[in-house]
Amino acid sequence: MSLSSNNVQSQIRVRISSRRRVADRIDEFELTPVDVASLPAWSAGAHIDLTTPAGPTRQYSLCSSPDEAGTYRIAVERRSDSRGGSVSVHDDLAVGSEVWISAPRNHFELTRALEYVFVAGGIGITPMLTLIEQARHSGRPWRLIYIGRTRAEMAFADDLLACHPRHVTVHESSHAGRLNLGVALAGLARGTAVYSCGPPSMMDAVADACAVQPAVDSFVERFTVSVHSAAPNEAFELSLAFSGVTVTVPEDRTIIDVLADRGVVAPSSCREGMCGTCETGVVSGEVDHRDSVLSPEERSENESMMICVSRCTSGRLVLEL
Protein backbone atom coordinates (compact mmCIF):
# COMPACT_ATOMS: atom_id res chain seq x y z
CA MET A 1 0.00 0.00 0.00
CA SER A 2 1.36 3.44 -0.80
CA LEU A 3 1.08 6.20 1.76
CA SER A 4 -0.25 9.57 0.71
CA SER A 5 -0.44 12.81 2.60
CA ASN A 6 -0.78 16.44 1.62
CA ASN A 7 1.16 17.62 4.60
CA VAL A 8 3.45 14.85 5.72
CA GLN A 9 5.64 17.04 7.96
CA SER A 10 2.80 17.74 10.38
CA GLN A 11 1.50 14.22 10.30
CA ILE A 12 2.27 11.06 12.18
CA ARG A 13 2.75 7.66 10.60
CA VAL A 14 1.01 4.89 12.53
CA ARG A 15 0.54 1.18 12.08
CA ILE A 16 -2.66 -0.75 12.71
CA SER A 17 -1.54 -2.89 15.64
CA SER A 18 -4.89 -4.55 16.28
CA ARG A 19 -8.41 -4.54 14.98
CA ARG A 20 -11.58 -5.98 16.44
CA ARG A 21 -15.29 -5.90 15.75
CA VAL A 22 -17.24 -3.97 18.39
CA ALA A 23 -20.70 -3.90 16.75
CA ASP A 24 -22.37 -4.60 13.42
CA ARG A 25 -20.35 -2.71 10.78
CA ILE A 26 -18.17 -1.08 13.45
CA ASP A 27 -14.53 -2.03 14.04
CA GLU A 28 -12.11 -0.66 16.57
CA PHE A 29 -8.57 0.02 15.33
CA GLU A 30 -5.53 0.39 17.55
CA LEU A 31 -2.90 2.75 16.13
CA THR A 32 0.77 2.52 17.15
CA PRO A 33 3.48 5.00 16.07
CA VAL A 34 5.98 3.89 13.43
CA ASP A 35 8.67 6.58 13.58
CA VAL A 36 8.45 7.80 17.19
CA ALA A 37 8.22 6.13 20.57
CA SER A 38 5.07 7.82 21.78
CA LEU A 39 2.11 9.72 20.43
CA PRO A 40 1.12 13.30 21.33
CA ALA A 41 -0.86 13.77 24.52
CA TRP A 42 -4.56 14.46 24.17
CA SER A 43 -7.60 15.23 26.26
CA ALA A 44 -11.06 13.69 26.48
CA GLY A 45 -13.23 14.56 23.47
CA ALA A 46 -10.30 14.89 21.03
CA HIS A 47 -10.27 13.62 17.46
CA ILE A 48 -7.64 12.91 14.81
CA ASP A 49 -7.68 13.30 11.06
CA LEU A 50 -6.88 10.06 9.26
CA THR A 51 -5.83 10.06 5.61
CA THR A 52 -7.61 7.00 4.28
CA PRO A 53 -5.89 4.74 1.74
CA ALA A 54 -8.48 5.81 -0.84
CA GLY A 55 -7.50 9.45 -0.39
CA PRO A 56 -10.17 11.30 1.60
CA THR A 57 -9.26 12.58 5.06
CA ARG A 58 -11.75 11.78 7.78
CA GLN A 59 -12.10 12.76 11.42
CA TYR A 60 -12.38 10.10 14.12
CA SER A 61 -12.74 10.60 17.87
CA LEU A 62 -10.18 8.93 20.07
CA CYS A 63 -11.88 6.36 22.27
CA SER A 64 -8.94 5.00 24.24
CA SER A 65 -7.68 6.61 27.43
CA PRO A 66 -5.58 9.80 27.38
CA ASP A 67 -3.33 7.97 29.86
CA GLU A 68 -2.27 5.43 27.21
CA ALA A 69 0.81 7.14 25.73
CA GLY A 70 1.79 4.44 23.26
CA THR A 71 -1.37 3.96 21.24
CA TYR A 72 -4.58 5.58 20.03
CA ARG A 73 -7.82 3.74 19.43
CA ILE A 74 -10.64 4.75 17.10
CA ALA A 75 -13.90 3.03 16.18
CA VAL A 76 -15.14 3.35 12.62
CA GLU A 77 -18.55 2.49 11.20
CA ARG A 78 -18.47 1.18 7.63
CA ARG A 79 -20.98 3.35 5.80
CA SER A 80 -21.42 2.37 2.18
CA ASP A 81 -23.79 5.33 1.70
CA SER A 82 -21.11 7.86 2.69
CA ARG A 83 -18.37 9.44 0.63
CA GLY A 84 -15.98 6.50 0.80
CA GLY A 85 -13.69 7.26 3.75
CA SER A 86 -15.09 4.69 6.15
CA VAL A 87 -15.32 2.04 3.43
CA SER A 88 -11.63 2.52 2.70
CA VAL A 89 -10.73 2.26 6.39
CA HIS A 90 -12.64 -1.01 6.69
CA ASP A 91 -11.61 -2.54 3.40
CA ASP A 92 -8.02 -1.32 3.08
CA LEU A 93 -6.64 -1.29 6.62
CA ALA A 94 -5.57 -4.63 8.07
CA VAL A 95 -3.31 -5.30 11.03
CA GLY A 96 0.15 -4.14 9.89
CA SER A 97 -1.13 -1.48 7.47
CA GLU A 98 0.34 2.00 7.83
CA VAL A 99 -1.55 5.30 7.57
CA TRP A 100 -0.96 8.98 8.30
CA ILE A 101 -2.85 10.79 11.01
CA SER A 102 -2.79 14.29 12.45
CA ALA A 103 -2.02 15.14 16.03
CA PRO A 104 -5.22 15.19 18.12
CA ARG A 105 -7.36 18.31 18.20
CA ASN A 106 -10.17 19.01 20.59
CA HIS A 107 -13.25 21.15 20.08
CA PHE A 108 -15.36 19.01 22.42
CA GLU A 109 -13.70 19.35 25.80
CA LEU A 110 -15.55 18.77 29.02
CA THR A 111 -16.30 22.08 30.68
CA ARG A 112 -16.86 22.60 34.38
CA ALA A 113 -20.50 21.93 35.15
CA LEU A 114 -22.66 20.89 38.06
CA GLU A 115 -24.04 17.89 36.19
CA TYR A 116 -23.45 16.19 32.87
CA VAL A 117 -25.83 14.59 30.39
CA PHE A 118 -24.39 12.78 27.37
CA VAL A 119 -26.56 11.95 24.37
CA ALA A 120 -25.02 9.61 21.79
CA GLY A 121 -26.52 8.37 18.55
CA GLY A 122 -24.90 5.33 16.92
CA ILE A 123 -21.19 5.82 16.27
CA GLY A 124 -21.50 9.16 18.08
CA ILE A 125 -20.75 7.15 21.22
CA THR A 126 -16.99 7.33 20.54
CA PRO A 127 -16.19 10.79 21.97
CA MET A 128 -18.55 10.13 24.88
CA LEU A 129 -16.43 7.28 26.24
CA THR A 130 -13.59 9.57 27.27
CA LEU A 131 -15.89 12.40 28.35
CA ILE A 132 -17.75 10.00 30.61
CA GLU A 133 -14.50 8.90 32.23
CA GLN A 134 -13.57 12.52 32.89
CA ALA A 135 -17.03 13.28 34.27
CA ARG A 136 -16.75 10.27 36.58
CA HIS A 137 -13.42 11.51 37.89
CA SER A 138 -14.90 14.96 38.48
CA GLY A 139 -17.35 13.41 40.93
CA ARG A 140 -20.28 15.27 39.36
CA PRO A 141 -23.55 13.47 38.60
CA TRP A 142 -23.75 12.21 35.04
CA ARG A 143 -25.93 10.09 32.80
CA LEU A 144 -25.80 8.80 29.25
CA ILE A 145 -28.68 8.40 26.81
CA TYR A 146 -27.44 6.08 24.07
CA ILE A 147 -29.68 5.82 21.01
CA GLY A 148 -29.33 3.25 18.24
CA ARG A 149 -31.44 1.26 15.86
CA THR A 150 -30.66 -2.11 17.42
CA ARG A 151 -28.41 -3.22 20.27
CA ALA A 152 -26.24 -5.15 17.83
CA GLU A 153 -25.37 -1.90 16.08
CA MET A 154 -24.44 -0.05 19.28
CA ALA A 155 -20.74 -0.26 19.98
CA PHE A 156 -19.67 -0.53 23.63
CA ALA A 157 -23.31 -0.62 24.85
CA ASP A 158 -22.90 -3.87 26.77
CA ASP A 159 -19.77 -2.65 28.55
CA LEU A 160 -21.33 0.69 29.42
CA LEU A 161 -24.45 -0.96 30.84
CA ALA A 162 -22.42 -3.52 32.78
CA CYS A 163 -20.13 -0.87 34.31
CA HIS A 164 -22.66 1.90 34.90
CA PRO A 165 -26.16 0.38 35.07
CA ARG A 166 -27.62 3.31 37.02
CA HIS A 167 -26.17 5.95 34.71
CA VAL A 168 -26.75 4.52 31.23
CA THR A 169 -30.02 4.33 29.30
CA VAL A 170 -29.97 2.44 26.00
CA HIS A 171 -32.77 3.27 23.59
CA GLU A 172 -33.28 0.86 20.67
CA SER A 173 -35.44 2.70 18.18
CA SER A 174 -36.28 -0.43 16.17
CA HIS A 175 -38.28 -1.66 19.20
CA ALA A 176 -39.18 1.51 21.07
CA GLY A 177 -39.61 4.00 18.24
CA ARG A 178 -38.08 7.42 18.06
CA LEU A 179 -37.06 8.85 21.43
CA ASN A 180 -38.69 12.18 22.26
CA LEU A 181 -35.63 14.11 23.37
CA GLY A 182 -37.73 17.10 24.33
CA VAL A 183 -39.28 14.90 27.03
CA ALA A 184 -36.10 12.98 27.90
CA LEU A 185 -34.18 16.21 28.49
CA ALA A 186 -36.94 18.25 30.12
CA GLY A 187 -36.34 19.78 33.53
CA LEU A 188 -32.56 19.57 33.66
CA ALA A 189 -30.93 21.04 36.75
CA ARG A 190 -29.32 24.46 36.58
CA GLY A 191 -25.68 24.24 35.56
CA THR A 192 -26.08 21.02 33.57
CA ALA A 193 -23.87 20.58 30.51
CA VAL A 194 -25.34 18.44 27.73
CA TYR A 195 -22.98 16.84 25.21
CA SER A 196 -24.32 15.24 22.06
CA CYS A 197 -22.84 13.47 19.06
CA GLY A 198 -24.74 11.52 16.45
CA PRO A 199 -27.02 12.10 13.48
CA PRO A 200 -27.71 15.79 12.73
CA SER A 201 -31.44 15.39 13.42
CA MET A 202 -30.67 14.01 16.89
CA MET A 203 -28.26 16.81 17.71
CA ASP A 204 -30.76 19.38 16.48
CA ALA A 205 -33.40 17.85 18.78
CA VAL A 206 -30.96 18.01 21.71
CA ALA A 207 -30.17 21.65 20.92
CA ASP A 208 -33.89 22.46 20.76
CA ALA A 209 -34.51 20.76 24.11
CA CYS A 210 -31.66 22.73 25.72
CA ALA A 211 -32.55 26.04 24.11
CA VAL A 212 -35.69 26.35 26.24
CA GLN A 213 -33.65 25.80 29.41
CA PRO A 214 -31.47 28.91 29.78
CA ALA A 215 -29.41 27.55 32.66
CA VAL A 216 -28.30 24.55 30.59
CA ASP A 217 -25.31 24.51 28.21
CA SER A 218 -25.31 22.38 25.09
CA PHE A 219 -22.22 21.14 23.22
CA VAL A 220 -22.21 19.18 19.98
CA GLU A 221 -19.59 17.26 18.02
CA ARG A 222 -20.42 17.13 14.33
CA PHE A 223 -18.64 15.02 11.76
CA THR A 224 -21.04 15.93 8.99
CA VAL A 225 -21.46 19.29 7.33
CA SER A 226 -24.49 21.00 8.78
CA VAL A 227 -23.97 24.73 8.83
CA HIS A 228 -25.21 26.79 5.94
CA SER A 229 -25.13 30.54 5.70
CA ALA A 230 -28.16 32.64 5.00
CA ALA A 231 -25.91 35.29 3.47
CA PRO A 232 -25.11 35.15 -0.25
CA ASN A 233 -21.47 34.89 -1.29
CA GLU A 234 -19.94 38.31 -1.87
CA ALA A 235 -16.42 39.35 -2.77
CA PHE A 236 -14.37 41.02 -0.03
CA GLU A 237 -10.91 42.39 0.59
CA LEU A 238 -8.61 40.26 2.70
CA SER A 239 -5.48 41.57 4.43
CA LEU A 240 -2.90 39.53 6.31
CA ALA A 241 -1.70 41.37 9.39
CA PHE A 242 1.77 39.81 9.64
CA SER A 243 2.81 39.51 6.01
CA GLY A 244 1.09 42.64 4.72
CA VAL A 245 -0.51 40.81 1.80
CA THR A 246 -3.86 42.17 0.57
CA VAL A 247 -5.98 40.23 -1.90
CA THR A 248 -9.56 40.14 -3.12
CA VAL A 249 -11.55 36.99 -2.34
CA PRO A 250 -14.07 36.62 -5.18
CA GLU A 251 -17.58 35.43 -4.48
CA ASP A 252 -16.90 32.00 -5.97
CA ARG A 253 -13.62 31.21 -4.16
CA THR A 254 -12.58 30.38 -0.61
CA ILE A 255 -10.05 32.27 1.48
CA ILE A 256 -7.77 29.26 1.70
CA ASP A 257 -7.68 28.80 -2.08
CA VAL A 258 -7.03 32.49 -2.76
CA LEU A 259 -4.20 32.48 -0.25
CA ALA A 260 -2.68 29.36 -1.80
CA ASP A 261 -2.58 31.18 -5.16
CA ARG A 262 -0.47 33.86 -3.46
CA GLY A 263 1.88 31.29 -1.97
CA VAL A 264 0.38 31.44 1.52
CA VAL A 265 -0.34 27.80 2.34
CA ALA A 266 -2.43 27.42 5.48
CA PRO A 267 -2.84 24.04 7.21
CA SER A 268 -6.02 22.27 6.15
CA SER A 269 -7.58 18.86 6.20
CA CYS A 270 -11.30 18.39 5.61
CA ARG A 271 -11.87 21.69 3.75
CA GLU A 272 -15.52 21.40 4.74
CA GLY A 273 -15.53 23.29 8.01
CA MET A 274 -15.59 20.15 10.15
CA CYS A 275 -12.12 19.45 11.52
CA GLY A 276 -10.77 22.78 12.82
CA THR A 277 -7.35 22.41 11.14
CA CYS A 278 -7.55 25.74 9.29
CA GLU A 279 -8.68 27.81 12.29
CA THR A 280 -7.15 31.27 11.93
CA GLY A 281 -7.19 34.30 14.20
CA VAL A 282 -9.31 37.28 13.19
CA VAL A 283 -8.02 40.83 13.73
CA SER A 284 -11.02 42.70 12.34
CA GLY A 285 -14.04 42.25 10.08
CA GLU A 286 -17.44 40.62 10.43
CA VAL A 287 -17.16 36.87 9.86
CA ASP A 288 -19.87 34.79 8.23
CA HIS A 289 -19.14 31.53 10.08
CA ARG A 290 -20.00 28.47 8.00
CA ASP A 291 -18.19 25.73 9.90
CA SER A 292 -19.40 23.00 12.23
CA VAL A 293 -16.61 23.49 14.75
CA LEU A 294 -17.07 26.74 16.64
CA SER A 295 -19.76 27.08 19.28
CA PRO A 296 -22.25 29.97 19.13
CA GLU A 297 -20.25 31.67 21.91
CA GLU A 298 -16.97 31.29 20.02
CA ARG A 299 -18.60 32.71 16.91
CA SER A 300 -19.92 35.74 18.70
CA GLU A 301 -16.43 36.41 20.10
CA ASN A 302 -15.24 36.80 16.46
CA GLU A 303 -11.69 35.84 17.43
CA SER A 304 -11.11 33.04 14.94
CA MET A 305 -12.63 31.44 11.86
CA MET A 306 -12.29 28.41 9.57
CA ILE A 307 -10.87 29.86 6.39
CA CYS A 308 -11.79 26.83 4.27
CA VAL A 309 -15.49 27.72 4.31
CA SER A 310 -16.25 30.89 6.28
CA ARG A 311 -16.40 34.32 4.66
CA CYS A 312 -16.76 37.99 5.48
CA THR A 313 -19.87 40.16 5.40
CA SER A 314 -18.28 43.54 6.16
CA GLY A 315 -16.33 44.02 2.93
CA ARG A 316 -12.91 43.84 4.60
CA LEU A 317 -11.32 41.14 6.72
CA VAL A 318 -7.94 41.14 8.49
CA LEU A 319 -6.47 37.85 9.61
CA GLU A 320 -3.59 36.89 11.92
CA LEU A 321 -1.41 35.56 9.12
Judged by beta carbon, residue 86 or residue 277, the one nearer ligand FES is: 277
Judged by beta carbon, residue 210 or residue 275, the one nearer ligand FES is: 275
Task: Give the torsion sign (CA, 263, 302, 103, 95).
Answer: negative
- DSSP for residue 39: P
Judged by beta carbon, residue 76 or residue 308, the one nearer ligand FES is: 308
Please name the amino acid found at residue 308.
C
CB of 227 to ligand FES, least distance (A): 11
Separation of alpha carbons 9 and 6, rounded Å: 9
- Which residues are at the interface with ligand FES (CB under 6 A)? 268-271, 273-278, 291, 293, 306, 308
CB of 103 to ligand FES, least distance (A): 14
Strand 287-288 and strand 311-312: the pairing is antiparallel
CB of 289 to ligand FES, least distance (A): 11
User: What is the DSSP code string of 229-252?
Assistant: -SSPP--EEEEETTT--EEEE-TT
Q: How far, CA to CA in Å, does 320 sit from each of 165, 236, 295, 304?
A: 49, 17, 20, 9
Judged by beta carbon, residue 58 or residue 171, the one nearer ligand FES is: 58
CB of 139 to ligand FES, least distance (A): 35
SS3 92: helix
Judged by beta carbon, residue 147 or residue 293, the one nearer ligand FES is: 293
Judged by beta carbon, residue 70 or residue 267, the one nearer ligand FES is: 267
Q: What backbone torsions phi and psi does residue 107 show, to the nearest 5 degrees?
A: -115, 20
Q: What backbone torsions phi and psi does residue 133 show, to the nearest 5 degrees?
A: -60, -40
CB of 315 to ligand FES, least distance (A): 23
CB of 165 to ligand FES, least distance (A): 39
Is residue 157 within a helix (H) or strand (E), and if so which, with residue range?
A: helix 157-163
Judged by beta carbon, residue 7 or residue 313, the one nearer ligand FES is: 7
3-state secondary structure 164-213: CCCCEEEEEHHHHCCCCHHHHCCCCCCCEEEEEECCHHHHHHHHHHHHCC
CB of 78 to ligand FES, least distance (A): 23
Q: What backbone torsions phi and psi does residue 100 show, to the nearest 5 degrees?
A: -105, 140
CB of 84 to ligand FES, least distance (A): 17
Which residues, in sequence order, are bridge partners of residue 281? Answer: 304
SS3 130: helix
Judged by beta carbon, residue 259 or residue 275, the one nearer ligand FES is: 275
Strand 142-148 and strand 311-312: the pairing is unpaired
